[in-house]
């Protein structure tokens, strides 16, 4: 009888241990508790910095304000100040606040000793919008594959990227990159705290899409982010063009001088005599002055500190954070930004206005004799000049160093809603395993088909393998060779996933010559 009781007791202890889950953790600032569902513990709304309000507006993120007791971390914090209309398109709540520097953790770990790989998601939104609460960013399905998933908010629009001479003097290090500094502060939090959630602080992968993918590229070149991550995934990102000084084609990152001029003009629009006066204004007043939509005029800045300068030149000089990279673009991204028709004459005029002495070469690479051709070319050059060339240049520059490997993909999975190719952001629910939760214009809407689920399992497996080892390959997956200068292999995610030559190379080469010319012009 005693032996039987001991066996039952041992079975009970084993069952209790096997079902154990991390439910609370002591982190920077205090203790937090999460909620368990289907083997994943979710912690939502953990502060990683002090609220950037009042005198802290337009300053680098400050240390977390400590709290007492146990903070219940079961609900997303409001998104950072923005026009919430875009995020609502993707199913997010419309709550926004200037007090927004919070992150979320999903962990499958049963104990803090597991040391699982960590993936940190950086949302997109043209540096003007974006929230961690978008349903397609739910971290639980990807965490089920054996990673600790983190998503973090960062300031956007003028709150995140306003540069001004007063702010530059105040910091002594330039201004305008507060949103990027938020991302870096979140990564520091991960380094200091993720082990409490069963994560490995020495195996952190940053990944993001669009502005989030561009952010990943920028963090890869930022001295301030050195040592805070060990792999990088950029979906439709990259930032390898020279500084924007006017309306140059493909240029997005302004010099500090240009960004400060934009900041002065914005304060004038606010009716604020100086930065102190602008700090005294309600956040809603600043957001209203900005207006709606994505064209805010605010973007990360070559401030000489967080972003030292042209990333192309930094990589050539071997001044970057060397980690394996997994990067790529989608086949029909341009349709998201150029949904209507583009007349041949209007297309040619736009190219001549933006591409200067290289306009003829660009026009030769992008057919535009008919309305159908010019419309497609308008979409394609947006895709290539904004995303594809930057991705190709990044992979080429890194592969030339012959150190950490580069893996490149081309997402061309087609659905009844996207028969001509994959639109911008269309890959996100496949990576996150959240098919059916993405309600935006480039989304998979309705019930996923078997081929959609198969693509999601394939892509999420590659992404998780990369987070684990720095190499996406694994048992049962089509081989994905590294990209090299001599063999520019690209993994195509389409009806027959396989590695093939890089796409769009005629256009990419034309753009490469254009960007090289712009870079030389900038040195004069």
* Residues 379-398: tens digit of each pLDDT: 999 999 999 999 999 999 99
The rounded distance, in Å, linking the Cα atoms of 489 and 498 is 10
Tokens of 310: 């042209």
Reply yes or no on whether the pLDDT at 34 is more than 80.
yes
* 360-370 pLDDT, tens digit each: 999 999 999 99
SS3 label, residue 137 = helix
Identify the band that residue 52 occupies on the pLDDT scale cut at 50, 70 and 90.
very high
42, 296, 443 from 30: Cα distances, Å: 17, 37, 39
State the burial class of residue 152 (Cβ atoms within 10 Å of its Cβ: 0-12, 13-18, 19+).
buried
Overall average pLDDT of the 100-108 stretch: 98
pLDDT at 6: 40
Percent of the chain scoring above 70 in pLDDT: 94
d(CA 301, CA 412): 32
Instruction: Output the average pLDDT for the chain.
Output: 93
pLDDT at site 20: 64
What does the alpha-carbon distance between residue 376 and residue 332 come to, in Å, rounded to a whole number? Answer: 9
CA-CA distance, 395 to 381, in Å (whole number)? Answer: 19
Q: What is the 3-state secondary structure (H, E, C) of 365-383?
A: HCCCCCHHHHHHHHHHHHH
pLDDT in tens, 439-477: 766 556 678 999 999 999 999 999 999 999 999 999 999
Delimiting residues of CATH 3.40.50.1820 domain(s) in the chain:
20-323, 332-524
Q: What is the pLDDT, as a whole number, of residue 13?
A: 35
List active site positions.
210, 333, 424
Would you state the pLDDT for residue 443?
58
CATH 3.40.50.1820 fits 332-524, yes or no: yes
The arithmetic mean of pLDDT across residues 40-47, rounded, is 98
Section 232-242 average pLDDT:
96
Domain 20-323 fold:
Rossmann fold (3.40.50)
Q: What is the mean pLDDT of residues 406-413?
A: 98
Instruction: Give pairs for 165-173: CB < 8 Å, separation 24+.
Output: 165/260, 165/263, 165/264, 166/274, 166/275, 167/58, 167/263, 167/275, 168/256, 168/260, 168/303, 170/275, 171/59, 171/60, 173/303, 173/304, 173/305
Helix (H) or strand (E) holding 77: none
Is residue 61 a contact partner of residue 43, using CB atoms and an 8 Å limit? no
Flag whether pLDDT at 336 surpasses 60.
yes
pLDDT at position 295 is 64
Mean pLDDT of the region 333-342: 92
Edge-to-edge strands of the sheet including 24-27?
24-27, 30-33, 70-72
Percent residues over pLDDT 90 in the chain: 86
- Residues 86 and 128: their CA atoms lie apart, in Å, by 10
| DSSP alpha helix (H) spans, 156-255 | 157-161, 165-171, 178-193, 211-220
Cα 191 from Cα 324, distance rounded (Å) = 19
In the predicted structure, residue 402 carries a pLDDT above the cut 90: no
Express each pLDDT in 250-306 by its tens digit. 889 999 999 999 999 999 999 999 999 999 999 999 999 987 666 668 999 999 999
Residue with token string 């930065």: 275
């Amino acid at each position: 009888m005693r032996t039987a009781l001991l066996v039952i007791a041992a079975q009970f202890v084993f069952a209790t241990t096997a079902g154990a889950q991390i439910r609370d953790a002591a982190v920077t600032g205090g203790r937090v508790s999460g909620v368990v569902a289907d083997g994943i513990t979710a912690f939502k709304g953990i502060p990683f910095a002090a609220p950037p309000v009042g005198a802290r507006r337009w300053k680098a993120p400050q240390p977390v304000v400590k709290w007492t007791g146990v903070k219940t971390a079961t609900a997303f914090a409001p998104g950072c100040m923005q026009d919430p209309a875009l995020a609502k398109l993707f199913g997010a709540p419309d709550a926004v606040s200037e007090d927004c520097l919070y992150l979320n953790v999903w962990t499958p770990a049963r104990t803090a000793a597991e040391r699982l790989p960590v993936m940190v998601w950086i949302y997109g939104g043209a540096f003007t919008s974006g929230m961690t609460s978008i349903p397609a960013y739910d971290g639980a399905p990807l965490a089920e594959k054996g990673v600790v998933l983190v998503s973090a908010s960062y300031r956007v629009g003028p709150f995140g990227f306003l540069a001004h001479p007063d702010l530059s003097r105040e910091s002594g290090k330039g201004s305008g990159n507060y949103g990027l500094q938020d991302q870096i502060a979140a990564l520091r939090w991960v380094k200091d705290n993720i082990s409490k959630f069963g994560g490995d602080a020495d195996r952190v992968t940053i990944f993001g899409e669009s502005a989030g993918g561009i952010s990943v590229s920028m963090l890869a070149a930022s001295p301030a982010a050195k040592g805070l991550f060990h792999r990088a995934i950029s979906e439709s990102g990259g930032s390898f063009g020279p500084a924007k000084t006017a309306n140059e084609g493909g240029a997005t990152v302004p010099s500090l001088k240009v960004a400060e001029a934009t900041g002065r003009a914005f304060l004038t629009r606010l009716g604020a005599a100086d930065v102190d006066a602008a700090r005294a204004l309600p956040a809603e007043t600043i957001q209203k002055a900005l207006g709606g939509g994505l064209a805010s005029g605010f973007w990360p800045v070559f401030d000489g500190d967080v972003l030292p300068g042209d990333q192309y030149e930094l990589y050539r000089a071997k001044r970057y954070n060397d980690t394996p990279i997994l990067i790529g673009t989608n086949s029909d991204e341009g349709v998201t930004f150029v949904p209507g028709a583009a007349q041949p004459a209007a297309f040619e005029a736009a190219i001549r206005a933006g591409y200067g002495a290289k306009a003829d070469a660009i026009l030769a690479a992008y057919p535009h004799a008919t309305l159908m051709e010019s419309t497609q070319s308008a979409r394609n050059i947006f895709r290539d000049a904004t995303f594809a060339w930057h991705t190709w240049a990044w992979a080429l520059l890194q592969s030339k160093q012959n150190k950490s490997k580069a893996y490149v993909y081309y997402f061309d999975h087609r659905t009844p809603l996207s028969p001509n190719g994959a639109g911008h952001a269309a890959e996100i629910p496949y990576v996150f395993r959240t098919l059916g939760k993405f309600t935006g214009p480039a989304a998979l809407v309705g019930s996923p088909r078997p081929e959609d689920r198969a693509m999601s399992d394939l892509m999420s497996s590659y992404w998780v393998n990369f987070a684990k080892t720095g190499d996406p390959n694994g048992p049962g997956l089509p081989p994905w060779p590294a990209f090299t200068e001599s063999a520019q292999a690209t993994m195509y995610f389409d009806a027959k996933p396989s590695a093939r030559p890089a796409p769009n190379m005629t256009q990419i080469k034309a753009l490469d010559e254009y960007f090289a010319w712009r870079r030389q012009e900038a040195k004069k």
